[in-house]
Amino acid sequence: MAKTPRRRPGRMIPSLLRSLFRRPATTRYPFVKWEMPDRFRARPVVHTENCIGCKMCVRNCPSGAIQIEDMGEKMFQATIDLGRCLYCGQCAFVCPKKTIELTKDFELAAFDRASLVVVYHAKPKPVEEPAASAQPKAAEPQAPAA
C-alpha cells in the first residue's frame, strides 16, 4: 500500500463543529411548505375553453394519461389520470393552443386511485375567438400500449 505523507487525521472536525451552530438543512415539511420554482412541473390543468380537439396531447402522451372527448358544439372535455401522468410536460409542449398548463401543485397523494382521475369539463369558447379558424384533425386517437 503506497503511503503518501499526510497530515493528522480528523480533518473534518472544524467543519463538523461549525455545522453544530448552523440551521438544519432540512425543513419540517408538512408544517413548513417548500415553495416550488415557477417552472416546476406538477399537476396538469386543462383550460378546456381553448381546446380545439386536435388530440395531439393524447397521441403524444407517453403513458396514456390524457383523454379528450368531443362534447359537441366545438366543446371538449379533458380527463387526466394523475396516477398515470409522468409530469413530463409533453402535452403542454405540443398543444397548439397552449391549453394545457403544468402547475406548481405537487401535493397529489390520495387514498383512492379513482380520485386521481381529474375531469376538466367542457367550456364554451370565449366570444372573440373566431370559431371556424381551427378545424380538429380527424385522426384516430391512438393511445399507447399500456
Q: Which residues bind other proteins (CB under 8 A)?
A: 1-4, 6-9, 11-12, 15-16, 25, 36-37, 39-41, 59-63, 86-90, 93, 102, 144-145
Q: Return the residue matching grid coordinates 487525521.
A: 9
- Min dist CB 10 to other proteins, Å, is 8
Closer to other proteins by Cβ: residue 60 or 79: 60
DSSP state of 20: H
Distance from C-alpha of 58 to C-alpha of 52, rounded to nearest angstrom:
13
- Min dist CB 76 to other proteins, Å, is 21
Closer to other proteins by Cβ: residue 93 or 113: 93
Q: Are 80 and 118 in contact (CB under 8 A)?
A: yes
- Min dist CB 37 to other proteins, Å, is 4
Closer to other proteins by Cβ: residue 35 or 112: 35
Distance from C-alpha of 78 to C-alpha of 118, rounded to nearest angstrom:
8
- Min dist CB 101 to other proteins, Å, is 12
Give the cell for residue 58: 393524447
First to last CA, the chain: 55
Closer to other proteins by Cβ: residue 77 or 99: 99
C-alpha 29 chain-centroid distance: 21
